[in-house]
Chain A
Amino acid sequence: MEITYALAIGVLTGSGVWLLLRPRTFQVIMGLSLLSYAVNLFIFGMGRIMEGGAPIIDTLKQIDPSLYDDPVPQALVLTAIVIGFATTALFLVVLLASRGLTGTDHVDGDESEP
């Protein structure tokens, strides 16, 4: 399981980094989106992966932390997902405005790159 998980992160990171370095704004926004999947999975993986251990305490049993998955990375990633949405929205609007103002979708707003 771990190897699949790690490979998935690798593929997402590779695709994300590749797109991040492209010159077109839409490529960059896609790249950020893929890279944020990778990073979220990575952070989530820092709590180690575990099946059937959702951190929802069984009120009938004695509390035993080893039965549950680590909740801290989960809380962090939950925040990251929502903020990721907000930044995507902001970037999208800036991208559209830049396309309208400069007439190009190059990330520098200037087609005459060296």
Chain B
Amino acid sequence: MSLAWLVILPFAGSLCAAFVPSHARNAAAWLAGTVAVACIALGIQFYPQIAEGEVVRATFQWAPAVGLDFKLRMDGFAWLFAMLVTVMGALVILYARYYMAAQDPVPRFFSFFLAFMGAMLGVVLSGNLIQLVVFWELTSLTSFMLIAYWYHRSDARRGARMALTVTATGGLCLLAGMLILGRIVGSYDLDVVLASGNLVRAHSWYLPALILIALGALTKSAQFPFHFWLPHAMAAPTPVSVYLHSATMVKAGVFLLVRLWPVLAGTEAWFWIIGSAGLFSLVLGAYAAIFQQDMKGVLAYSTISHLGLITLLLGLNSTLALIAAIFHIMNHATFKASLFMAAGMVDHETGTRDLSRLSGLYRAMPITATLAVVGAASMAGVPLFNGFLSKEMFFAETTFVSGNVITRIGLPTMAVIWGTFSVAYSLRFILQVFFGPAAKDLPKKPHEPPRWMLLPSGLLVTACLVVGMFPATIEPYLDIASRSVLGPGIPFHSLAVWHGLNLPLIMSLLAMAGGVALYRALGKYQQGTAVVPLINRFDGQSIFQFLLKKLESFAGTLTRCLSTERLQVQLLLLICAVFASALIPFSNGGLPAGNQPVAPVHPAFALMWLVGGACAIGAATQAKYHRLAALSLSGGAGLATCMTFAWFSSPDLALTQLIVEVVTLVLLLLGLRWLPPRYKSVDDKVVPLQTRLRARTRRLRDMALALVAGASLSALSYAVLTRQAGEGISNFFLENSLPLAGGSNVVNVILVDFRGFDTLGEITVLGIVALTVFALLRRFRPAPESMGLPVQQQVQDAQIPGWTPDPRALLPEGPMMLPGVLVQLLLPISGMVAVFFLLRGHNEPGGGFVGGLIVATAVILQYLVGGTAWAESRTRIFPQYWISAGLLCAAGAGLSAWLVSRPFLSAMAWHARLPVIGEVHLSTVLLFDLGVFLLVIGATVLILVALAHQSRRGHRKPATAHEEPEAAVPAATPRVAEITADLAQPHPISHAWAPAPAPKEG
């Protein structure tokens, strides 16, 4: 169980740190430090078991259906890595506390930092391939956040994006590779996978799996040719570079290679893929490091080079090389982290990391200088430092490689060349920064950093020295780790400073002499230039940018080829697709013969549809130039539909259709006010002949399509109506409506009881639509042509000159006074009718939908008759409250079932005998229908009133005081104008139709 804590603790800490106030630097640091120390303690507690060679496991059910468990697994190697992650984490947290400036939002940093630590521990302890990939991608995401921590800097954003693109793409490859690997083995369990190396290597899918997994590992470890993201990631705060880019994240790639070494290594393909990537990174990284001007740049390229060393060692297919690789993972983490810390301290105290500006710092910062010298000596592989030991092992391995002459001679030569380069850049790093004449024009006056900031670096440097001089101290840990990867029979190896005068030592001496010579020879050339000779043109970054640009333009082309932005084409395709799908059932055998008797045509029904059909066709022909006529005609068709519902025994539908018809008509009429008219004569003059011809052909095509669509849907309907209905679920509802739900109106019972969840969803959609309409209208800019008063209103105003109606009058003045009396009388009556329909809905036609629409109609009548100004001066309806009350009511009715441990939306009824009133039957279904009722009122009224209110905004000319600046804002920045207008209006939602800023002209 406690193994899980090792992963849970950092994530929990991350969550806590996220809630620490952003200026509480110490609190966040204490929190993070405590978590890291607790993790270290947890890790140490496992040591006795691990030292015995045991594997600690913890398994939790994850997705048992597909055979996946969440499994944590700690063997010696995982333990060593987990200790590396936690100990380095603790040191870096201490360092970061002093590195980060007080004005930085430090808790955010620690929150991401701990999340990264958790993800890294997850990778290390994963006992399952899929789970490993999940944590792997988490490290990519958290490292993105950490690199972009100073997101106001464009280099940080760019570097973070590049790192994420490269490593996350690699992560996807890794996922594919792991899936193949899991498929080969037949299990994703790491224990099973590790035990089936021979099976995997012999499998025909071995190579694809190897390539994909290698892509994942090499991108993560910044190996050639994916190394270019690492130098750009140096835009991160230095503690991030210390932790991610020296000790942990970049090591995840080599960690994976070691982890899967028993499964994947030992083949030619492994040697060539992993070995060559390592060799290229080794030499090119060291070569490029010589010419960097940024201290962190030197270290970044050096990291690429050292990771290349580890990768190359792993690629050599030799068990001794594997031990050397594990050893170097540890050594590199210690000296590189201390060097990054030193670079950070120099940056922190002098304000620059530029090698050409820094000089002679040892006078001002003697302790920092000493620490850096030890780190750099270890990096260069000087004897008595830990870097020397693993370098010797590497040199020894290169001389043992069998194969043709090129590898036998070439590999040791390359190793010596690498050694030369690393000595050269380490020398330059130290001599340039800390020795020579004191630098003059530094941004800050240098002095020693705080003691606590020096401590982590000091501890690391001590470790370098102890391991370098007394290698026996590290021996048992290295032994445990190697044994857990290689099994019990690991080859003999000895860590010692002195192996006698052998070939590796001669190679070391050669490299050192060469490095000093190279440093002297380059001398002046390196000053003031960051150009890397020879390979400068092969810049990974520019290739990356080029590829990204190509990818973008390719995606754009593909989108243009595969889709269209033209709505007409889309709709045409949609209709054709519907046709095609309707034809599929006919393809096998067609319809059975009609078996239903056909009822004789009733003349009244035929006449009604003669009118209805004429109305529909009329609406189709008139919709372009005569919108009002089209609207009325479409209403005619709607009424015929409504009558049809009533005719064929569907009173509920008829009622609803009728009221919706009214409400839709009012809605569209309100909208027509803002749609400038089209004039046929103008159109004919403007449009050139050719376009008209094209339009004519298109009309013919659409006409044909419409005819075919109409005819086929007619035929289909007729075919269905003349055939027996299949056995459906309807009988269930008819039979059970009364006994189970206690309602005799089956349609209503289906809506509010049997299928109540659907209705809940539906009213939610309705509420959302209403709010969307309201939101869209708040920033509504009508067409300029429709800004003025409509002609009819102008005529009316001209008839009574100088008459302005008083919005506060008891009744609307002028010709609408009598209708005004009527609609005011109508309001309470309609309310009563609505409640009547609501209450009887369960047993008779009616229900919440109908009732709500009736109230909404009565409200909008007030607007129609009295005018918007008059209606708004006396109503305060707040439809948004009705919407929320309705939703709460309906959801509450559903939730109340939980009180008696029944499923959501189960109906419950109470029978009670009250004094005076007598027997009362109450049901949550009524509450639900009440919710529907309230919501329909709110949504409909909100939509209609928001639209009606526009007429008041339109008349206001933009002349009031606070709108002056808005008008002055140039047209190019409409966003700013909108935001300021938003700010100027304090309470947007509570006054649905309060005066909003007048629409802008143009």
Interface: B645 (CB within 8 A): yes
Interface: B797 (CB within 8 A): no
B918 within 8 A of A: no
- Of B266-274, B363-371, B500-508, B764-772, the segment with at least 4 beta carbons within 8 Å of chain A is B764-772
Contacts of A52 in B (CB 8 A): 649
Bound-state CA distance A94–B747 (Å) is 33
Contact with B along A55-82 (1 / 0, CB 8 A): 1111100010100111110110111011
- A29 engages B668 (CB within 8 Å): yes
B572 interface residue per 8 A CB criterion? yes
B617 and A21 form a contact (CB under 8 A): no
**Quick check: A12 and B706 within 8 Å, CB to CB?**
no
**B947 neighbours in A (Cβ, 8 Å):** 92-93
Chain A's closest residue to B598 (CB) is A2
Task: Choose among B718, B731, B745 the residue that contacts A65 (Cβ–Cβ < 8 A).
Answer: B731
* Residues of B with C-beta under 8 A to A44: 645, 648, 650, 653
Question: What's the nearest-Cβ distance from chain A to residue B748, in Å?
Answer: 8
For the complex, what is the distance from the CA of A14 to the CA of B616, rounded to whole Å? 9
CB atoms of B720 and A46 under 8 A apart: yes
Nearest A residue to B607 by beta-carbon distance? Answer: A4
Q: A93 near B649 (CB under 8 angstroms)?
A: no
* A21-B705, A65-B730, A96-B675 as given contacts; A81 in contact with B650, CB under 8 Å: no
CB contact list, A30-50 vs B, under 8 A: 30-31, 33-34, 37-38, 40-42, 44-50
Measured between beta carbons, the chain A residues less than 8 angstroms from B772 are 90
Q: Which of B631, B720, B733 contacts A30 (CB 8 A)?
A: B631
Task: Provide the residues of chain B in CB contact with A33, threshold 8 Å.
Answer: 634, 638, 664
B28 part of interface (Cβ distance < 8 Å): no
Say yes or no: B780 contacts A100, CB within 8 Å.
yes
Which of the residues B730, B733, B780 comes within 8 Å of A97, measured between beta carbons? B780
Residues 2 to 29 of chain A near chain B (Cβ within 8 Å) = 2-24, 26-29
The verdict on B600 contacting chain A, using a C-beta distance below 8 Å, is yes
Across the interface, do A57 and B730 meet the contact criterion of CB distance under 8 Å? no
Report whether B650 and A96 are in contact in the complex, using a CB–CB cutoff of 8 Å: no
Which of B568, B663, B703, B728 meets A70, CB within 8 Å?
B728
* Contacting residue for B706 out of A14, A79, A83, A92, CB 8 A: A14
Question: Considering the chains assembled together, what is the distance between the CA atoms of A82 and B721 in angstroms?
Answer: 25
Q: Check if A38 sits within 8 Å of B568, measured CB to CB.
A: no
| Residues in chain B near residue A30, CB distance under 8 A | 619-620, 623, 630-631, 634
Given A10-B711, A44-B648, A105-B675, the answer on whether A17 and B653 have CB atoms closer than 8 Å is no
Indicate if the CB atoms of B780 and A12 lie closer than 8 Å: no
A89 x B782 contact (CB < 8 A): no
B634, B725, B773, most chain A CB atoms within 10 A: B634
Say yes or no: A68 contacts B738, CB within 8 Å.
no
Contact of B769 among A55, A70, A89 (CB under 8 A): A89
Contact present for B766 and A7 (CB under 8 Å): no
Which chain B residues in 663-681 approach chain A with CB under 8 Å? 663-664, 667-668, 671, 674-676, 678
> Which of A10, A74, A93 contacts B747 (CB under 8 A)?
A74
User: Counting CB contacts under 8 A, is B762 at the interface?
Assistant: yes
Decide if B721 touches A108 in the complex (CB within 8 Å). no
Q: Is the CB of A26 within 8 A of B634?
A: no
Instruction: State in angstroms the CA–CA spacing of A53 and B651 once bound together.
Output: 10
Instruction: Say whether, besides A21-B571, A82-B660, A56 and B601 are in contact (CB < 8 Å).
Output: no
**CB-CB < 8 A to A63: which residues of B?**
734-735, 738
The residue of chain A having its C-beta at the shortest distance from the C-beta of B755 within the complex is A75
Residues of A within 8 A of B720 (CB): 45-46
Q: Given the known A-B contacts A1-B598, A6-B718, A7-B609, are A26 and B766 also in contact in the complex, defined by CB atoms under 8 Å?
A: no
Judge whether A6 and B714 touch: CB under 8 Å: yes
List residues of chain A with CB within 8 A of the CB of B738: 57, 59, 63
- Nearest A residue to B650, CB-CB: A74
Within 8 Å CB of A103, what residues of B?
A: 783-784
Whether the Cβ atoms of A17 and B709 lie closer than 8 Å is yes
Q: Complex formed: what's the CA distance from A39 to B637 in Å?
A: 13
Chain B residues positioned under 8 Å from A56 (CB to CB): 651, 744-746, 843-845
A-facing residues in B748-787 (Cβ within 8 Å) = 750-751, 755, 758-759, 762, 765-766, 769-770, 772-773, 776-777, 780-784
Chain A min CB distance to B98 (Å)? 54
- Residues from chain B with a CB closer than 8 A to the CB of A27 are 623-624
Tell me the nearest residue of chain A to B620, going by C-beta.
A15
Q: Of A22, A50, A92, which contacts B623 at CB under 8 A?
A: A22
Are B750 and A71 in contact, CB atoms less than 8 angstroms apart?
yes
Given contacts A6-B717, A86-B765, contact A99 B675 (CB under 8 A): yes
User: How many angstroms from the CA of A49 to the CA of B728 in the assembled complex?
Assistant: 16
Report the separation of the CA atoms of residues A3 and B744 in the bound assembly, to the nearest whole angstrom: 32
Contact (Cβ within 8 A) B705 A17? yes
Q: How far is the CA of A27 from the CA of B568 in the complex (A)?
A: 12
A54 and B650 in contact, given A19-B620, A37-B637, A100-B780 (Cβ under 8 angstroms):
yes
Nearest B residue to A24, CB-CB: B624
Q: How far, in Å, is B735 (CB) from chain A's closest CB?
A: 5
Task: Tell me, yes or no, whether B715 is within 8 Å of chain A by CB.
Answer: yes
B953 to chain A, nearest CB (A): 12
Interface pair B759/A50, CB less than 8 Å apart: no
Residues B667 and A48 in contact, CB atoms below 8 Å apart? no
Chain A residues closer than 8 Å to B810, beta-carbon distance: none
Task: Report how far A79 CA is from B755 CA in the complex, Å.
Answer: 11
CB < 8 Å neighbour of B599 from A2, A34, A78, A101: A2
CA A108 – CA B570 in complex, angstroms? Answer: 11
Q: Return the chain A residue nearest B940 by Cβ.
A: A85
B613 beta carbon closer than 8 Å to chain A? yes
B647 at the interface (CB under 8 A from A): yes
Contact residues in A for B777 (Cβ distance below 8 Å): 93
- Knowing A13-B710, A89-B667, the reply to whether A3 touches B598 (Cβ < 8 A) is yes
- Complex Cα distance, B732 from A63, in Å, reads 11
Contacts of B668 in A (CB 8 A): 29, 88, 92
A11, B616: Cβ atoms closer than 8 Å: yes
Shortest C-beta distance, A99 to chain B (Å), equals 5
Residues of chain B lying within 8 A (CB to CB) of residue A46: 720, 725
Pick the contact of A19: B623, B653, B675, B728 (CB < 8 A): B623
Which of A4, A16, A59, A113 has a CB less than 8 Å from the CB of B566? A113
Answer whether residue B217 sits at the interface, using C-beta atoms and an 8 A cutoff: no
In this complex, the member of A14, A28, A44, A87 whose beta carbon has the largest number of chain B beta carbons within 10 angstroms is: A14
Distance A1 CA – B999 CA, assembled complex (angstroms): 53
- Contact among B568, B649, B702, B773 with A51 in the assembled complex (CB-CB below 8 Å): B649
> A48-B721, A75-B751, A85-B660 known; A57 and B780 CB under 8 Å?
no
Do the beta carbons of B664 and A85 come within 8 Å of each other? yes
The answer for the CA separation of A2 and B944 in the assembled complex, in Å, is 38
Question: Which A residues are CB-close (under 8 A) to B601?
Answer: 1, 3-4
Is B745's CB under 8 angstroms from A82's CB? no
A37 to B566, CA, bound (A): 26
Interface contact A17-B575, CB-CB below 8 Å: yes
Question: Are the CB atoms of B717 and A9 closer together than 8 Å?
Answer: yes
* Cβ-defined contact, B730 with A47, below 8 A: yes
Does B602 sit at the interface, judged by CB under 8 A? yes
Assembled-state Cα–Cα distance A68/B663 (Å): 30
Contact among A38, A51, A53, A96 with B782 in the assembled complex (CB-CB below 8 Å): A96
Give the B-binding residues of A (Cβ under 8 A): 1-24, 26-31, 33-34, 37-38, 40-42, 44-59, 63, 65, 68-72, 74-75, 77-79, 81-90, 92-97, 99-101, 103, 105, 107-108, 113
Q: Can you pick out 16 interface pairs between chain A and chain B where the beta carbons lie within 8 Å of each other?
A: A2-B718, A8-B609, A10-B714, A18-B703, A21-B568, A22-B623, A23-B568, A34-B619, A42-B713, A44-B645, A56-B651, A71-B733, A71-B737, A71-B747, A93-B773, A99-B783
User: What 10 A-B pairs have minimum CB-CB distances, sorted nearest first?
Assistant: A14-B710, A10-B714, A18-B706, A6-B718, A15-B620, A11-B613, A71-B746, A55-B746, A1-B599, A6-B717
- Contacts A23-B568, A27-B623, A57-B744 supplied; 18 other A-B pairs, CB < 8 Å: A1-B605, A15-B617, A26-B624, A46-B725, A51-B648, A55-B747, A56-B745, A68-B746, A71-B737, A71-B747, A75-B755, A81-B656, A86-B769, A92-B667, A96-B674, A99-B675, A99-B783, A100-B783
